[in-house]
Amino acid sequence: MAAGSRTRTAETYLTCPECDNVTTIHRKRSRMREKNHIKHMWCFRCKEVTGHIEVKDDVFLPDWLRKEG
């Protein structure tokens, strides 16, 4: 059994504000962030560090169905 095999994680989705690329990351459940949280990280499509926006699960909904908030 690996040392971190019992760590509970959840997927969360981040969107690059420059190119709208969606990236999936895993966070510990105890360290989850709120929707619209900004995480500065490398975008493999833009080739630069940008302030990715945490969008949670609504990234897969059509634009007309998403709630503004």
Please give the model's pTM, rounded to 2 decimal places. 0.66
Query: Residues 15, 59: contact at Cβ < 8 Å?
Result: yes
Instruction: Single out the residue of 27, 9, 7, 29 nearest to residue 54, CA to CA.
Output: 27
3-class SS of residue 11? strand
**pLDDT, tens digit only, all 69 positions of the chain:** 456 567 788 888 888 999 988 888 888 877 777 778 898 999 989 999 999 988 876 656 555 545 554
Supply the pLDDT for residue 42. 93
The whole-number pLDDT of residue 50 equals 92
Provide the pLDDT for residue 2: 59
Domains in the chain: ranges and CATH: 9-59 (2.20.28)
Give the strands of the sheet with 9-15, arranged side by side. 22-28, 9-15, 48-54, 38-43
Residue 10: CB atoms within 10 Å: 11
